[in-house]
């Protein structure tokens, strides 16, 4: 390794390691206590205001059921959308309450149409051991995103113990993420704990060899990620549009494919850094192409040095897929972020499906630790039918990528005992 990233330098105060640098639910007696749980209930909705993916709700269930079983009086707080300090009816968390109740086997969820003040207090004060309350959208108040100390004090006044179970918000220095844990005894919830332990296994204490599969459209959004990974993995396989930029930087014709020519110098710097760090980078050796604008044509598989100027690369080819698959076979730890091609449109999902299924099979046999997350990764793994086949699949998005880029996350640091 050529440098020590933030997650090693600050791991004693911010990162889960065997010396246990943060409290969990095991460290508190919660019976009768008012447990203020920072959740992430920012679920997607369709045009009819129906929840299209309730994964984040379901992943809260272990923490919530445990708190209820142990007699805690649980108060859920969360953001929802971007109201920017304004009360917007369509961004009320009340819409989430029925799905939350269903996930908790029909449990009653008391709802307060504010998250601070007398309205919130009146609902919280009615809770009995084992019961739940959901407070209104934190971001209806400007104090949340501004990390206003008075807003944090008002939130903290509602509880006796703070539990953060929203790793997906841990990269935000918001009042409910960093302000409140400074005012109350605090712990990581089971979802937060699982996320931190999974990430620790990948980049702090990994079983070697370590491999990363990184895809997606733009290299510009993942420069820091790639720059850090080449210091920490043995093999880095790159697909999607960002592979085209790296190929372009090497003088390869990529036709009309997604590409960022303006990032060519940065791409070459990554390749140079990888060589210096003894990280093997796997770029496509063949690709699946289509004549630009002619979706009804039969896709063509061509070697990477035979891409015609009027064609578009939409997936890596079978030789590239087999090459990556053979490297997976020799690894013990795998990190996955982003699809290899335009997986939403068959047959351009073949490489992503094959590699995802191979990873899941090795994981299930116990020969591989696999962690995935960020961007379109969850959708790609779900499309391949293996969303439950990995060791851990993160729903955190931005926080997941920020961690992998080497940042110390404020919400994790705030959980220091």
The answer to whether 56 is a known catalytic residue is yes
* Residue 186: strand, helix, or coil: strand
209 prior amide bond cis, ω within 30: yes
The C-alpha atoms of residue 231 and residue 62 are separated, in whole angstroms, by 35
Question: CA dihedral in degrees (294, 296, 301, 303; nearest 10)?
Answer: 0
Q: Reading across the β-sheet that carries 73-77, which strands appear in turn?
A: 109-112, 132-135, 73-77, 34-38, 161-164, 186-188
- The region that residue 366 occupies, defined by phi over 0 for left and psi between -120 and 50 for alpha, beta otherwise, is left
DSSP assignment of 300-356 equals EEEEGGG--TTEEEEEE-HHHHHHHHHHHHT-SEEEEES-SS-TTSTTTTHHHHHHH
The answer to whether 411 is a known catalytic residue is no
The answer to whether 375 is a known catalytic residue is yes
* Residue 16: strand, helix, or coil: coil
Catalytic member of 227, 375, 397, 406: 375
Return the number of other C-beta atoms located less than 10 Å from residue 318's C-beta. Answer: 14
Catalytic member of 58, 121, 218, 416: 218
The answer to whether 327 is a known catalytic residue is no
Angle at 37 between CA 31 and CA 42, to 5 degrees: 150
306 prior amide bond cis, ω within 30: no
Angle at 202 between CA 3 and CA 405, to 5 degrees: 50
* Phi, psi for residue 233 in degrees, rounded to 5: -125, 155
The C-alpha atoms of residue 369 and residue 291 are separated, in whole angstroms, by 39
The H-or-E segment that residue 213 falls in is strand 210-214
Catalytic member of 81, 94, 325, 398: 398
Catalytic member of 56, 172, 312, 327: 56
Query: Could you list the active site residues?
Result: 56, 218, 375, 398
């Amino acid at each position: 390794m050529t440098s020590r990233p933030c997650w090693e330098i600050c791991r004693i105060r911010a990162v889960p390691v065997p010396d246990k640098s943060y409290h969990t639910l095991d460290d508190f007696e919660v019976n009768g206590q008012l447990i203020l749980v920072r959740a992430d209930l920012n679920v997607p909705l369709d045009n009819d205001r129906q929840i299209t993916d309730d994964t984040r709700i379901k992943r809260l269930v272990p923490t919530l059921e445990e708190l209820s079983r142990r007699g805690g009086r649980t108060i859920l707080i969360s953001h929802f959308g971007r109201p920017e300090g304004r009360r917007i009816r369509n961004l009320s968390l009340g819409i989430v309450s029925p799905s939350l109740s269903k996930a908790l086997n029909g449990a009653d969820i008391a709802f307060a149409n504010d998250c601070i003040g007398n309205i919130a207090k009146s609902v919280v004060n009615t809770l009995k051991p084992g019961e739940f309350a959901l407070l209104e959208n934190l971001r209806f108040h400007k104090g949340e995103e501004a990390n206003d100390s008075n807003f944090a004090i008002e939130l903290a006044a509602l509880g006796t113990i703070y539990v953060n179970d929203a790793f997906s918000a841990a990269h935000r220095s918001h009042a409910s993420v960093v302000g409140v844990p400074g005012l109350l005894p605090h712990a990581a919830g089971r979802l937060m704990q699982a996320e931190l332990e999974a990430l620790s296994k990948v980049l702090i204490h990994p079983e070697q060899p370590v491999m990363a599969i990184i895809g997606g459209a733009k290299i510009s959004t993942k420069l820091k990620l790639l720059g850090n990974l080449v210091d920490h993995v043995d093999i880095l396989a790159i697909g999607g549009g960002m592979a085209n930029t790296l190929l372009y930087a090497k003088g390869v014709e990529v036709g009309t494919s997604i590409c960022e020519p303006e990032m060519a110098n940065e791409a070459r710097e990554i390749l140079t850094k990888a060589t210096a760090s003894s990280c093997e980078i796997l770029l496509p050796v063949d690709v699946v192409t289509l004549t630009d604008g002619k979706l009804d044509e039969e896709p063509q598989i061509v070697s990477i040095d035979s891409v015609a100027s009027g064609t578009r690369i939409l997936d890596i080819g079978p030789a590239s897929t087999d090459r990556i698959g053979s490297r997976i076979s020799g690894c013990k730890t795998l990190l996955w972020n982003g699809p290899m091609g335009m997986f939403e449109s068959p047959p351009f999902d073949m490489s992503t499906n094959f590699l995802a299924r191979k990873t899941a099979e090795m994981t299930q046999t116990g020969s591989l630790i696999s962690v995935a997350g960020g961007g379109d990764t969850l959708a790609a793994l779900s499309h391949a039918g293996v969303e439950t086949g990995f060791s851990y699949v993160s729903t955190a998005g931005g926080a997941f990528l920020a961690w992998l880029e080497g940042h110390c996350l404020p919400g994790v640091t705030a959980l220091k005992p």
